[in-house]
């Protein structure tokens, strides 16, 4: 198994095992399936938050919460994804969540 090491700026190999292109693509496919499950779980949470906000008369968007989330994620980011790319991805995730919350109106 290989893992990204930010300090080294490269992939480290635990057992020296070599993976070919097919192996890496299978690994990415598995990760994509996990991401999809987690994204849908996150969106389900957003729908519940939308219901609560509606009940409490709150605005759907919370710019301070969004800013804090993006800053926290960038602080946690150990790479190799660049902070700008991470932020762009999460801005899309946030917008998808907002869209679902607005459906609750």
Q: Are 50 and 104 in contact (CB under 8 A)?
A: yes
pLDDT tens for each residue of 38-75: 999 999 999 999 999 999 999 999 999 999 999 999 99
Neighbours of 100 (CB within 10 A): 19
Residue 13, domain member (yes or no): no
| 42 located within any domain | yes
For residue 52, the domain's CATH number is 1.20.59.10
* Domain assignment of residue 23, given as a range: 18-103
CB 86 within 8 Å of CB 45: no
> Is the entire prediction scored with pTM above 0.85?
no
CA dist., res. 87 & res. 94, Å (int): 10
DSSP run (H or E) holding 12 = strand 10-13
User: What is the count of structural domains for the chain?
Assistant: 1
- Asked whether residue 58 is assigned to any structural domain, the reply reads yes
Distance CA 73, CA 83 (A): 9
Query: At 10, is the pLDDT very low, low, confident or very high (cuts 50, 70, 90)?
Result: low
């Amino acid at each position: 198994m290989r893992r990204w090491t930010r300090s080294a700026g490269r992939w480290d190999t635990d057992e020296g095992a070599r993976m070919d292109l097919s192996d890496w693509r299978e690994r990415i496919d598995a990760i994509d399936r996990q991401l999809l499950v987690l994204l849908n779980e996150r969106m389900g949470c957003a729908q519940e938050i939308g219901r609560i906000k509606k009940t409490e008369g709150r605005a759907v968007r919370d710019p301070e919460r969004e800013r804090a989330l993006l800053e926290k994620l960038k602080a946690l980011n150990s790479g190799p994804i660049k902070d700008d790319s991470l932020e762009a991805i999460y801005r899309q995730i946030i917008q998808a969540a907002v869209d679902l919350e607005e459906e609750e109106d």
